[in-house]
Every structure is written in structure tokens, then in C-alpha cells.
Amino acid sequence: MNGRHDRSSGRAGCDAFLASVGSRRDALRAGALALGGLALPGLYRAREASAAALPGPPRTTTGRAKACILVFAWGGPSQLDTWDPKPEAPEEIRGEFRAIETSVPGVRIAEHFPMLAARADRLAIIRSMTHDDPAHLSSVHHLQTGHLAPRPHSDADGPSPNDWPHLGSLVARVRPRGGALPPSVIMPWIVSHPAAPGGKAPGQHGGWLGKAFDPFLIPGNPNAPDFRIDGLRLPDGLPDARLLDRRALLSRVDSGAIAAPAWSDYRSRAFDALLSAEARGAFRIDEESPATRDRYGRHIHGQCLLLARRLVESGVPLVTVNWHDDGVNFWDTHGDNFNGLRTRLMPPTDRGLSALLDDLAARGLLDETLVVWVGEFGRAPRITRANAGREHWPRCYSAVLAGGGIRGGAVFGSSDRWAAYPDSNPVGPADLAATILFALGIDPATEIIDPIGRPLPINRGTPVTALFG
């Protein structure tokens, strides 16, 4: 992406072409889909070469999901104030919120999820998520890859080439796919924490698989009137016909041995992607009706969930919706826990996630789309009186799944009387990742080759098969 045009002899025809568009970089910019510095042709080539090195065909499961939307509640939501209330606990444990009945007899959740409570018959609530790492950054790696971070229990390490690949990267690796759309998307940012020395959390990119497997990042606010995605649109004033002319000219230049034939094939696929109605249309959230957009909520989280629906409907296998940079503390409610949950965190989640489930169901997509809502850990059972907050607590928290063959109206696992520790059926981050892979029909024991030539299973957890009906 940063290379300059070589004006060596024998390229006069190419120079004439580039004079009209500025540079080769400008000529191909429209089809760049830049992921960590790789243009789309390089991305295709690198993924194809990597796929050819698989030890064998991916092992499959009985999972029937075609896609997964991972809704990541960045910061660590309080299990007691969302999915696992303890109304009989002392006040300093149970907190300010009431537990309300849901559409499933005997299952109660917190009062500020009323719309989700009405849809509990579609949900499977895991109340026994657990691990032992209270650090944000390394816990994100554990949750979003299914593997421990290179340095667990640490907020000091940002992303590195030694990270395990993101779940979406692993899916892309073991299940290569054609088409114009990327196999994994993250929005609306790569989560980071201003108080963490490492800044960005590890485990959100291709890791040791390489940049070719980085999920495609869609930054920004889809609710903004001027929302646009660079690299997925033609430059202003460039119609399809002119792009086709440029493609033909580049083909003639390449026929003079300026580019290797294989590279020309990959670049041809990049042009195909740019010209594809599928690729262009999937990201056009402005094509949704105002009523649909209103149902999701006219805020960044709701509109990200709507865009995620458009992407899985178009064939993207894994979309991660991170809680956005809200300028406050995300779900990291060390202080003012109850006001934060009541006003800025739970209402958009309640509306957006409910709309997503309804929309998928109405379109016949819920049975083949797994939706997962989870954070990197939970919050301490005992409230900090000085500031009405709850501290980090990885030992017991909650996750929620729906669609993709999940048996709704279920609660899996249980916590003790204060939601401090699992009382039955503990589930770790690796198990949750294995469950996602299982739902997508991918055996977690499928092996890939690491950078030093070792065959490694993509996951060492155990799928929670009891969740599936």
C-alpha cells in the first residue's frame, strides 16, 4: 500500500495510464480493502497459500449455523445486575435493581432488560462462565481467541505477532471461502483501554497466522449521516465503466510481464470484489428503512448490530460487534455502576439485541445465525460503598446465546448464592469459543500449522453441546 510507482524503462504504457490517475496506488485504491497494510490482491494470495498448507480438510460437527455475531460487552458487565440477579442476597450484594420475570417460567433477569426478558424463550443463559484473570487486555485475548494470552494476567501487553488468531481469523483459516466479502469483520473499533499500559487489547487480529487473516475493521459510527467505509467504494467521479477500462489496461500491461500471472489473477479478483453488488450492498446500512433502523435504536450500538445482520445475511461467517468507545468506561463500572447500567449501557443493549433477534427470525436467519453476548469477565459481588461500583471479577459471570441451533428458554450452569463462583457446570472462555466453532460446523480439534511447523488444534476447549436442541 505504501510502495511507489517504478518508472523504469519498458513501462511507458503504464506511465501514461498512471498519469491519468496519479499513481498505481490510486488506481487500485478503490479495491484496496486494506487490512494491516495488505491490499486485497495480496490478501487473496496470502490466504490461498495458507489454506493450501492445511494438514487436511477441516473436521466437521453437526452444527448448523452458517454465521456468528459475537456481541462483545467490553469492560466486564455485572452478572448480578444483568443475567444472574440474586434478589435474596443482602443489599450490598444484590444491588439496586429488581429481578423481573421473563417469558420462561422460573427464569428472572434484571429489570433494565425488559425487551430481552420478553424474548427469553429464544435465549440460552450461561451463568457459570469462569476464569482467573482479572486483567482486561489478556482476558480479551482469552475470550476472542479461545486461548490464553502470551502473558496472562496482564494489562501491559498490546497486540503482538505472538497472539493467537482471533476466532474470525481461525474460521477464515480452516474454512476458506470465495466471494467478494471478507470472512471476518470487527466493528466499530479495536477495543482498547486508556488506563491499560498496553492500550489495545491483543487477540483481535490474525496473530501468528499473519496480517492476511486480520478481520476487516469497520471503524466509525454507522448511525452518523456521513458514515462511509473507505476501500469499499469507487473514488468520486469514477463510474464502473472507467474502472473496467482501467482493469483492461492493467491486464494489457501485465501481459508484458510487468506483473506475475498469479498476481494478475488475485488482482482480477480484487476488481471483481469492487464491482460486486454483493460487496457494495452489504455495507449500505442507509438502504434499510427508517422503521427498521428505529427498531434497533438510533445509536452506534444498535446500528452496528443492524449492519452485522446485513453482513451475515450477505455471507460473512463471523462478525464481532465490540461495545464502542463511549468516552466513559464502557462496561467497566468501578464507580457509579447502577446509574451507568440504567442509563447508558443496558437500554441500548436491550433494544438493539432484541431487534437483532426479531429481525433474524423474521428473515428466516435465526436458526442459521448464532448470536453470542458476553464480556471478558464479570463484576465483584460486593458493592464498593464509596462509589457505588463493582470491581473486576473473572471467577463467575454470564454469557447469552441464541439462534444457530441453540435451545432457547434454557439456563446452563449456575452460580452460588452471591454469583461469586460457579455452583455447577463451569464454562471457560475456551469452552465458549469451542461452542461457537461447533455451532459453525467446525470441529475445535481441527489442526493448523503454527509458524515453527507444529500442528496445533484451533481450540482446546469443550463445546457446550447441551445448549443445542
Q: Which residue has the cell 446500528?
A: 303
Cα–Cα distance between 404 and 365 in angstroms, integer? Answer: 9
Residue 253 lies in a domain: no
Cβ neighbors of 75 (< 8 A, separation 6 or more) are: 136, 323, 329, 330, 331, 332, 333, 375, 376
C-alpha cell at 202: 491483543
Cα–Cα distance between 405 and 409 in angstroms, integer? Answer: 13
What is the distance of C-alpha 34 from the center of its chain? 17
Cβ neighbour number for residue 213 with a 10 Å cutoff: 27
Q: What is the DSSP string of 363-405?
A: TT-GGGEEEEEE-S-EE-SS-BTTTTB--EE-SSEEEEEESTT
pLDDT at residue 181, as a whole number: 86
- C-alpha closest to that of 42 among 198, 282, 206, 236: 206
pLDDT at residue 281, as a whole number: 83
Residue 158 lies in a domain: yes
Residue 11 lies in a domain: no
Number of domains in the chain: 1
3-state secondary structure of 193: coil
pLDDT at residue 41, as a whole number: 55
pLDDT at residue 251, as a whole number: 53
Residue 268 lies in a domain: no
Residue 182 lies in a domain: yes
Residue 20 lies in a domain: no
Give me the residues paired with residue 374 across strands: 72, 399
Q: Running along the chain, 469 residues long, what does each successive block of 10 average in pLDDT?
A: 38 40 38 41 57 65 95 98 98 98 98 98 98 98 98 97 97 88 95 95 97 93 90 55 53 50 44 58 93 98 98 96 96 98 98 98 98 98 97 98 98 98 98 98 96 95 97
- C-alpha closest to that of 97 among 70, 79, 72: 79
Residue 41 lies in a domain: no
pLDDT at residue 433, as a whole number: 98
pLDDT at residue 91, as a whole number: 96
Q: To the nearest 10°, report the CA torsion of 16, 20, 25, 31.
A: -120
**Residue 336 belongs to domain spanning:** 61-232+289-467
Cβ neighbour number for residue 17 with a 10 Å cutoff: 18
pLDDT at residue 448, as a whole number: 95
pLDDT at residue 180, as a whole number: 77
Supply the CATH number for residue 458's domain: 3.40.720.10
Residue 242 lies in a domain: no
C-alpha cell at 164: 493467537
